[in-house]
Amino acid sequence: MAKLWEKGYKTDLQVEKFTAGKDREFDMRLAPYDIIGSIAHVTMLQSVGLLTDQESIDLKDKLEVLLEKVKKGEFTIDEGVEDIHSQVELYLTAELGETGKKIHSGRSRNDQILLDMCLFTKAELLIFRDEIVVLFDTLQSLSEKYKDVLMPGYTHGQIAMPSSFGLWLGAYAEALVDDLYFLNAAFKVVDQNPLGSAAGYGNSFPLDRNLTTDLLGFSTLKYNSIAAQMSRGKSEKAVIDALSMVAHTLGKLASDCVLFTGGNFGFISFPDEFTTGSSIMPHKKNPDVWELIRANCNLTIGASTQVSLLCGNLSHGYHRDYQLLKEILFPATDRMHQSLQMANLMLSGVVVNSSLMEDSRYDCLFTVEEVNKLVLQGVPFREAYRITGEKVARGDFSPDKKIAHTHIGSIGNLCNDLIRKKLEKALYQLKNE
């Protein structure tokens, strides 16, 4: 199969295989975006006189046919074709002859892949937004359901003060709002049209870059053509960094769930069908799903470092190193989609142990409550602290397990309604800025 760039000589087959890498595999995911970008590019070329009206109609008709093939799963990148850009152009040339050869005027595969990745990541971030909202809703629903069920709170891994299942689950809901802020920032980075920057230095055609910006739904464009090329790697890192924040939240939740299902805790449990067994120990019900979610989250956090190491010391302009970004980004997005969906599934079946506080091992959780009670009676705080500490040391501390926390964000005042308003504001920003 001829290459778009061939100039009368053949590339060594080993070199060809090595340089193509996994592009044919990964580029299948970019196919709809490459075609959509080509349709916008054709419209622009016609508007500036580089294509006739009929040529524009013919090209867009064939591109629409190709897009429909992609949607139906009938599109492939042929053996020997380097990438999605080449496949689309070769298809148009086979169908339309000389007209098909005109589509590449005013652009390079460099700004094509930039465009494809921007369109791809924009779409992915909006899917993540929706998945986060689903998980947020589940967490808040559970938080309200179990708001009055107490559980131990921990510092330094030691039992510390009373918490509640409502407070614990609600915390992860609010943490997801923070993660949406990072998604918003990443969306702003990729919501800039790079098309028309060509190989990084523009070209002499009178391109209308504002037109393609509008046609493709970008909020703005990358004005400087070198800056557009410099965004390669930086854009992917922005997206992965945002996913790393989601991973930070989700990985911590997964660790909690692994710990809290253990026999020494027994705070929560999950249906048998959500767990796995041991090949040797008949009693085991393993939290494998949560462990794999945690592992996926750790790999996603590590992907940010991979992008930094791949791109951090490259000079400006295009480098073939960037090709490997897809091998980092695509698996990271897949892992996080799966993890968010599975976390929501697992939480849909969670069972809370509502009788935890009956266990005397948790009596010391209430020492601070005793100190505060004495303070409210007029005893200086440090004296109240000493009195209570001595009771614990003598072994005669008897807790009053009725608590009344009422301040904002406490056990008795979760503020879930206000947290939802924060979420709605973050969603509005993601949709409208």
| Residues catalogued as catalytic | 156, 278
Q: Report which DSSP code applies to 363.
A: G
Within 72-108, where are the H helices?
84-96
Tokens 């590019």 found at: 41
Yes or no: say if 257 and 351 are a contact pair by the CB < 8 Å rule.
no
* Per-position DSSP letters for 29-53, written without gaps between them: GGHHHHHHHHHHHHHHHHHTTSS-H
The CA angle 75-107-118, to the nearest 5 degrees, is 65
Tokens 């001829």 found at: 2
Where are any strands of DSSP class E within 363-425? none
* Per-position DSSP letters for 263-299, written without gaps between them: TTT-SEE--GGGSB--SS-TT--B-HHHHHHHHHHHH
Q: Alpha-carbon distance 295 to 302, whole Å?
A: 11
Yes or no: say if 66 and 94 are a contact pair by the CB < 8 Å rule.
no
- End-to-end CA separation in angstroms for the chain: 44
Q: Alpha-carbon distance 226 to 242, whole Å?
A: 25
Determine how β-strand 351-352 pairs with β-strand 268-269: antiparallel
Q: Alpha-carbon distance 57 to 7, whole Å?
A: 30
Tokens 């504001």 found at: 425
Tokens 């938080």 found at: 143
Q: How many whole angstroms from its chain centre is CA 135?
A: 13
73 Cβ partners below 8 Å, 6+ apart? Answer: none
Yes or no: say if 294 and 300 are a contact pair by the CB < 8 Å rule.
no
Q: Alpha-carbon distance 167 to 43, whole Å?
A: 54
